[in-house]
Structures are given as structure tokens and as C-alpha cells.
Structure 1
Amino acid sequence: MKKIIVLFSFFIIIISCQTKEKLPPVVFEKYDESKDIEQQQDHENPRMKFVLFQSKVLDLNTIFKPFEEDLAYFSEQDYQSLKPLVLEQDIPSLQKSITEGKLNYEKLTLFYLYRIRKFENDPKKSLNAIISLNPNVIKEARELDKNKKEVSKFSIYGMPILLKDNINTKGMPTTAGALALKQNNITDDAFIVKQLKENNALILGKVNLSEWAYYFCSGCPLGYSAVGGQTLNPYGRAKFETGGSSSGSGVAVAANYAVAAVGTETSGSITSPSSQNSVVGLKPTIGVLSRSGIVPISTTLDTPGPMTKSVIDNAIFVDAMLGYDTSDAASKEIKESYLGDGFQRQLQGVKLGVLKPILTDSIYALNIELLKKTGAEIVEITPPEISFNGFLTLLNIDMKYDLPKYLANSADKAVTVKSVKEVVDFNLKDSLLRAPYGQQLFDGIVKDETTLEELEIVKENLKGEGEKYLASLNNENLDAILSINNYHSGIAAVSKYPTLTVPMGYKKTGEPISLTFIGKPLSERRLLEIGYLFEQLTKSRKLPENYK
């Protein structure tokens, strides 16, 4: 009986494809960007004086080739009919539509593939967010549709997810945006990717990033990589910065290219692009999520984290990546669910620290007043002056040792570069293609002769200074300290404190701005709960105007 049903379903699919008109293939063509580059030189921000927009090495025709047949039967009419069910919808809403039979995982996946192709093939709207796509994702979606039983509305099951392209993923190269890794770095899945797959998430593809997680060139554009080209902000294409280094993750979520994306952070690399693209980003306590199989900067500070359109999705997503990893020395066994039975509905009893020096920001001040009026207890703080000496030294020496370990143990054996120095030498052979903005930070790593003993002192000093700045969390028994965007991400990083950033509005120019919650170690559940209350109170996030 089961075989008859499967065969019947198969024939229905065949018949429906035959009755629908087959659309001609869409061809991606490079456009003349010379005028755009010329105009960009007048930008007031030196980091946005781009030398190029489009990738010189990616061919989106090749990337989309595996989907040509399926997309040939997915029309603009299909896309438009699914938009109300998919666009800006959170995971519970998507799962509800699927349970009710209005949607399925295959259609959801096709919707995102069509949408990515639609905008990335438009010279006026392309965001250069995608580096690769999973060629098997439609087949995997069909399998999940076929095997679906009772799926919780709070499940990651069947949700198409994008990964920052410094995260090892089977079947797609892991490049960190660098040509040194583009051809040969075919790996197994990183630990968090295995967790996502075990929880039946669909890995849709890999997204662009600031090359080597923005610890490569100095003063260069955020969101640029030699592999992916220049990532652009959907709220102001080539007008506003994308934030970095998880630029593609922030941009892709903001533009609704997937349900959610994974970013990674050393210092601000989740909070910055989340803030700049009006999405929710969680930088968890080091060790909450595994770092195994991720191209590193610093094992001291690195962590992956979820980037989503809503706080509820963020909690669902981080739950799906949890797991104790014996190969990551910092890994923690987290037994609680970050979503649990849901979040509290009132701000009464929530105690928040407000930083006096940034109360001059009118949007920040307005949101603080709103929190106060709605029941939160507000404590104004004037933090002490601290020293941040040695921060670059920490990153330099960690990367000098951590990158070779990744290349030796987690990269494909065919990758020829084995150290930072060898990457520098590789790039010098064709610097216009491989490093058009230079590689000043990599040069600095090579020259830095700080010993490991000296490094330990630097780390301890920085941690102490960071904890001193955030001492009110303990002294005043605060649930969180409130910041703007990634203003205090470096301080939270060296303290090893988690941060959650949630959209709080838009400047007069239309540029997004977010409220960032800094909490004590392992307080992610509480941060998500407070972030959810704030999100429901303000409902600030808006879909970018040109991507509706």
C-alpha cells in the first residue's frame, strides 16, 4: 500500500510538471559596474570607496545549474502566491502553514531559490550575498516532506538555513572568502552543521563574509571577499555598510533569502551585521556552541551564533545547534532549552543597566523611556575608563597558531597553504585578484613576535578590564546592560559575556539601528526572554523597501 501511495505521488508530480508550462532557463550575466565604482568614490565613508562590486571568480550560472529543471516549473505567479505565507514569517508560522497543507518544505525551498535568483540577477538589486548553494537541497526537502509526521511549530525541521562560508559543510567548499581555500577545501560537516542536520534543518547554501572574518586587510570594506565580491546592504545598497564579518548572513536574512543564517563572532561579527541589517543576532557565551570545523581567528574569543528575523526563531535555531563537542576544549554541556515553554509576557521585574555616555542617541533614549514606562527597572551607569591594550596582539597570536591547526586538522589535505605566512605569499602572486585592498593585518600577524607566555598575560589583563567595565551586571544585580549595535562588542568579547542584538528603529537616513543586550556568562535564555519582550513591545523590524 505504501509503495502504491509513493508511486501515485510520483505520477502526480510528473503530471503537474507536464501540464505546467516549462520556463526558459535564466542566465546570469556580468554587468558593467564602472559607473557604480566611479560614483562610490564620492562616498563620505572611506571604507565604502569600493574598487569592485561583482565577484571575479563566482559563476552563478554554475551555482544554479542543479536547480534549472525544478525552477523551470516554478513561475513568478507561484512565487507571488507563496509570498504572504513565507515573507517575514517566523518558524512557528511557517510550520503552521505546512501543517495546514498550504505549504510544504519543497515549495518553501523553491521559493527561496527563486527569490535569490530573482534579486541576484538584477544589477540594481543584487546583494552579492551567496557564495554557494547545496545542489541536493530540493531532493532533501522532498524527503522531509515524505517522512514528515507530527512536527512541532517550534522545530527547525525542514527550514532552509544559510551558513557563513567559514563553516565546514559537506558538499560545498569552505572558503572563508579567500581564493587560497576556494578550489580545494572540501570538508566534512562542522559539529554545529551535524547538529542542524540531525535536527532535520535544510542547509540551503553558504553566504559571503568579510574575508578571513575581517581580520585580513585594514580599513577595507566590510562584507568584501575575493570569492564573493562586495556584499551590499538591502536597506541602502552601496549607501550603508553591511557590518561584518558575518555580512552575508545579516544581508541574506534581512532580504528573506532563507529562514535564518549562522554567523560567527570574535568581536562584533554577529552583532555588527545583525544591527546594520535589522535582524536579531545572538553571540553566545564561548563554548555554548561548538567551534570545531570553523575557520578561526581566535579560540579564545570565537563562537558561532544564530541570525534571524525574530527572537523566537533565534531561540529555536540556537537550540538546534546545541551539543557537547569533545573536540572543542571550551565546549559546555547545555541541558536547558533556550526556548523552553516560551517567554514571559511582562517586563515587570526586569532590571536593565543603561549607559549614560550613549543616552545622547535619541533612538536609544526613546527606547529606554519606553522600557521604563512598560515596567522595566532602569539603572543608569557611568562605566569606568579601561585600557584595551593588547587586543590586536591577542588576535594576532591566536590566529598565528589557530589557523595552522585548522588547516592541518579540519581543512582538505589538498589545500596547499599551511600558515598565515603562506597565505600572504599566495596572495602576493596576484594581489589585484586575491587582495585588492591589501593584507595589512595578515602582514601584522606574521611580524608579531609576542610569546605564548606574554599572550596569557595580555588575555588576563583584557578580561579583567572588560569585567571592570561591565561590573554593574553583578554589583547592581542587572539582567542586562543595554548598548547600541556593536559599540561594546569588544568589551563583551574579552569578558566572555554573551550579547543579543534586536532591531530598535531606523535613523532619518533609513539606516537600521539596534538595541544590544549584554548579559552575564550563560545568561542566553534570560537575554532571549528580555529581547523577545522588547521586540513585541516595539515591533521595529521592517522589510527592506526594494526587497518586498
Structure 2
Amino acid sequence: MKKYVLVVLVLLVISCKNKVEDAKKELVLWQPYNDSLEVAENAEHTNPRMRYKLIQSKVIDKNEIFLPLYPEVQKLSNEEYKALKPLILEQNIYTLRKHINNGELTYEKLVLFYLYRIYKYELDNATTLNTIVALNKDVVMQARKLDELKKKGDESNVVHPIYGMPILLKDNINTKGMFTTAGSIAFKNNVTDDAFVVKRLKENGALILGKVNLSEWAYFLCTGCPVGYSAVGGQTLNPYGRKIFETGGSSAGSGTAVAANYAVAAVGTETSGSILSPSSQNSVVGLKPTIGFLSRTGIVPISSTLDTPGPMAKNVPDAAILLDAMKGKDAADSKSVEKELGVLSAPLTDNSLKGKRFGVIKNLLATDSIYRASVDKLREHGSIIVEITPPEVSMSGFLSILNIDMKHDLPTYIKNQTKNKLPIQDIKSAVAFNAKDSVIKIPYGQSLFRGILADTTTVEELAVIVSNLEQSGRRYFNEAMDAHNLNAILSINNYHAGYAAVAKYPAITVPMGYKKTGEPISLTFIAKQFNEAELLRYAAGFESAFKARQIPENYN
């Protein structure tokens, strides 16, 4: 009899479990839609790169991404969400920590707030930015554990402000438990451990919320194609003007997600402009650090010469916190250095703009009224403005750095970082893999990949190119900086990102306003190597004085 009862109970448990699984399968949060009308609307866009061939991904099913956490998100009512808005929306990390310490907010509620916004906007085809490509199914549970530790008075691990803060990662950064695709179907099932910077984030207590879309292969695949597009994630859209303004690339998802308040902050990567561009286009703060300040181990590469990760946030203090939380000497990265630059406290101390000597570029003064007005305001705040015309320098061979580096660096990444067999081993096999289905895999072609194969530059020739370009880049900035004892040179968006890239100089971009069309525009500070702390101070001073950033109207 007992055996009979046990069998019945087992059968009931199995039956209930199957019913739950069936219910999950039947539940549909998102329906694919016909995006042909949207594509047609953009067919005559004045910007050729915004004449899209598709909007939604042909590869991912949002239900697979959003269903696992749906029961948790349902626990937050609309009334609770509205009550949390003044505590969280647009607030910096120090304010969030204050609310948590005061008992007004919990780590769990903080995570649920951001998830609520992601579900609210990303599951609606009229508001989706196509930015979220993966979510950490354990993130709510992880936040709950932090709350339990706090209740017990056992928060001995709280040594960094990033602790308990939900962070999004660009989808070329290795993350355990989530695929790292680089936006490519060839990498759709790429299983990895954590990248070095992700390990550092977790060691400091950050909560990894999920992964965001990017320009496929960090925008080193096709020529003249839309920024923010990948075969995996589809077309990322700008919250300040969906299908109207570019997202910037390649860290498009990082920029759009931060702008729309989907997380506290996000990590992007840059080779030449890929943090500065999307940060500027989405009115957020982005910092491209000196090469070597942050590790590149576990990041899908373009160029081991120029690649770097960096923080993207709604404000300068948060960018400093995220930058500091990722730093550390990495033995596996030959360029990695250990520098205690004081970046964490930099935005909070000595932020006066008075007496700071900034070089401003004459042709930008003549052509951009917002830049000109910002420079005038800096003068009013006591900054010393020196008008400069940078020297003409050769950038010959720049493309070969990317070509030859990627030809060697991608196979090395696949060999050392991936934990499962992928359908490609190198650029040659990637080109062949993509060519088998151009409609799905490469609707905009793969001319840059083909260019990699065609480039015959030798390793020895490349070394000369790298050296010459570093000298050219540094001369471009140093000539004026040394002659006039400048603290930094001021640019717009990613206009001078290429020169900063080859010089291996850091740069930070900060919102400075909006064009008449509503498109964001930012002021970019560029300085010499390992001057991140100084850049953060200048940026914080500018941000505090001008308060230019506005939340996107339809995502407030």
C-alpha cells in the first residue's frame, strides 16, 4: 500500500511539473511582427546607413530571453514601479546606495525596477530598442541574497560602490551562463567563462543583469551598413528618435540601454570610437581608457593593438565607479598595467573648471553652434580657452592594423576562450560560413571581412605602421598640448577618436546638448596616457555646471 501511495505521489509530481512546463510553453510574451512597413518608411532616409533591410532579429525569440524571469517581474506591481521611480530613475550610484542603506530600497527592488522597464519597453514592438539579447536568469535570486546578507548585518563584502548594482554587458564580452555572440550567427552558441573585467565586477559585488546588442563583430564586418545592427540581435534603435537618429556603434546596445534606464550602467568596448560614438548619440557618459588600463582578456577582438573595454553611464560618478570596479593587473594581457590613478574619487574632488586650460579646435568653433556655446560657457566658468588647429598627420595603414590584428587575434580567441566547438575557426572560415546564407547572416555584405583576407601586410610591416601611427596620433594632440600647457583637447562625439586610438590616449564624452532635431550631441575631452582621473574631474565639472542630459521623452 505504501509503495502504491508513493508511486501515485511521484506520478502526481511529474504530472504537475509537466503541466507547469506546458504552461510556460504556451505563455507568449512577445509576438514576431512584419517589419516591412517600418523598413519601407526608412527607405528614403537622408542617411544611407539608416535605410534598413530589417528591424527585428530573424534569429532570436524574445520569449526565450524574457520568459524565465517573467514570474519574478510580475511580482512588481505598476503601483510599486511608480513608487520606485523617484528613488531610482536617473539617480547615481551614491544616491541608490543611500536609499538602500536607509532601508528605502532593496537590491531586489532595484533589479526588479530595471527588469520592469526592460519588459515594459522591449516587449512592445512600438517602443522596443532591440537592445537586450540575454538576461541573467539568476539575477533576482542573486539580489535577494544580498538583501538577506544586509538583514543579517553581514555585508562585510561591501567595499566598493558597485556592490549590488545591476550592470549590462556588450555581447562581445565573455560571460559565464550567457552566450557571447559578438552579434554573429557563427558565435550564436559561444560558451565561455567570464572575461577578466567581468570577474572583477563580480568580485566587487556587481550584479550582471544581461547582455546587449552591438554592431556585429564590433562594426568590422560590412561597409556603409547600419550601426547597431547584428544578425543575432537585429537593428538597435535610438531612444531619442527610433529609426530617426543613429545609435552610434559599435557599443550601440550599451548606449541605448543606459539612455533608457535599463540598468545602472553598461560596459562597452572601443577600437576606434565604439564607446565615444554610441555614448554621444544616446546622451550618456562614455570613457575610453588608455590601452592597458583595463584587461581585454575574454573579449571578442578586433585589434590587440587598439581594443579596450570601458564604462558607459548616465553620469560621470557612475562611469568612474564602473571603471574602478573593472581595473586590475591581468597576467594574460601583455598590455595590462596596474595603475592606482584615483579614478573612483576623481569626480567627487576638485571639479572646478577655473584655470583649466583647454584646447578647442577652430574649425569646430566655426561650424558647430552647440560646441561654440559650450566653449563660451567654459570661459564664463573660468576655463582658459586656447584655439588650436591640429597639424595634418598621416593615418596611412590604419585599416591594416585592424585587418592583420583580427586575422591573428580572432583564431587565438577561439582557441583560448571558447568552451565548445564553433562553426568557424578564423576569418577565412567565417567568410565561407556567412556566404552560405547572405539573407540571414550578412544582409549588408561582409566587405571588411573580405578585406582582411586580401590584406598582405606582414607582421614586420605592421609593427612599423603601428609605431608610425602612434607617433602621428600623439603629434596630433601633443603639438598644441605641449606648446600651450593644455590640460585636455575638446572635441565633439567621436570626431577625433581615430587619432586618440592610435595615440592610445584616453577620452571621455559628456552630454552637452541636443540639436534642433532633438539628436544628442556631446563634448569629448582627450588627454595624454593614464590621465583618466583628470578627465573624470573635467567631465564632472562640466556635467555639474551644465546639466545637459535629458531623459528620452518616451522612456521617462
> What TM-score, normalized by structure 1, do the two folds share?
0.94
Cα deviation, residue 154, structure 1: 6.6
In structure 2, the residue matched to 1:304 is 309
Change (3 A) 1:413 1:70: closer
How much identity, in percent, do the aligned residues show? Answer: 59
Cα deviation, residue 68, structure 1: 2.2
Gaps of 5+ in 2: 1-25
Correspondence list, 1:334-413, <5 A: 334-340=339-345, 342-360=348-366, 361-413=368-420
Cα deviation, residue 25, structure 1: 6.2
Aligned residues of 2:29 and 2:67 also touching (Cα < 8 A)? no
Q: How many residues align?
A: 524
d(CA) in 2 for partners of 1:112, 1:509: 29
d(CA) in 2 for partners of 1:419, 1:473: 42
Aligned residues of 1:95 and 1:152 also touching (Cα < 8 A)? no
Aligned residues of 1:92 and 1:154 also touching (Cα < 8 A)? no
d(CA) in 1 for partners of 2:518, 2:234: 24
In structure 2, the residue matched to 1:323 is 328
In structure 1, the residue matched to 2:524 is 516
d(CA) in 2 for partners of 1:427, 1:511: 34
In structure 2, the residue matched to 1:223 is 228
Residue 175, structure 1, aligned to residue 177, structure 2 = no
Q: Which amino acid aligns with 1:61?
A: N
Aligned residues of 2:164 and 2:206 also touching (Cα < 8 A)? yes
Q: Which amino acid aligns with 1:327?
A: A
Q: Which amino acid aligns with 1:524?
A: E
d(CA) in 2 for partners of 1:431, 1:537: 50
In structure 1, the residue matched to 2:502 is 494
Q: Which amino acid aligns with 1:103?
A: L
Listed one character per residue, the Cα deviations across residues 236-283 of structure 1 (whole Å, up to 9, x for unaligned) are: 100000000000000000000000000000000000000000000000
Aligned residues of 1:91 and 1:154 also touching (Cα < 8 A)? no
- Output the aligned Cα RMSD: 1.4
Residue 263, structure 1, aligned to residue 265, structure 2 = no
Cα deviation, residue 169, structure 1: 0.3
Match among 53, 66, 71 for residue 51 of structure 1: 53
d(CA) in 1 for partners of 2:226, 2:419: 29
Cα deviation, residue 467, structure 1: 1.3
Residue 245, structure 1, aligned to residue 253, structure 2 = no
Aligned residues of 1:278 and 1:503 also touching (Cα < 8 A)? yes
In structure 1, the residue matched to 2:70 is 68
Match among 71, 77, 80 for residue 78 of structure 1: 80
> What TM-score, normalized by structure 2, do the two folds share?
0.92
In structure 1, the residue matched to 2:212 is 207
Match among 476, 489, 492 for residue 484 of structure 1: 492
Match among 430, 436, 444 for residue 451 of structure 2: 444
Listed one character per residue, the Cα deviations across residues 108-166 of structure 1 (whole Å, up to 9, x for unaligned) are: 11111111011011122110001101111011101111123378797001000000000
Match among 420, 426, 433 for residue 426 of structure 1: 433
Listed one character per residue, the Cα deviations across residues 71-112 of structure 1 (whole Å, up to 9, x for unaligned) are: 222222221111111110110111111111111110111111
In structure 2, the residue matched to 1:12 is none
Cα deviation, residue 379, structure 1: 1.1
Stretch of structure 1 that moved more, 219-228 or 148-157: 148-157
Gaps of 5+ in 1: 1-23
Cα deviation, residue 31, structure 1: 1.9
Q: Which amino acid aligns with 1:293?
A: G
In structure 1, the residue matched to 2:114 is 112
In structure 1, the residue matched to 2:297 is 292
In structure 2, the residue matched to 1:16 is none
Please state whether the residue corresponding to 1:313 is helix, strand or coil. Answer: helix
Please state whether the residue corresponding to 2:67 is helix, strand or coil. Answer: helix
Cα deviation, residue 58, structure 1: 1.1
Stretch of structure 1 that moved more, 452-461 or 265-274: 452-461
d(CA) in 1 for partners of 2:116, 2:345: 34
d(CA) in 1 for partners of 2:119, 2:546: 33
Q: Which amino acid aligns with 2:511?
A: P
Aligned residues of 2:251 and 2:269 also touching (Cα < 8 A)? yes
Aligned residues of 2:351 and 2:538 also touching (Cα < 8 A)? no
Cα deviation, residue 412, structure 1: 2.3
d(CA) in 1 for partners of 2:27, 2:73: 8
d(CA) in 2 for partners of 1:429, 1:32: 24
d(CA) in 1 for partners of 2:28, 2:549: 32
Residue 40, structure 1, aligned to residue 47, structure 2 = no
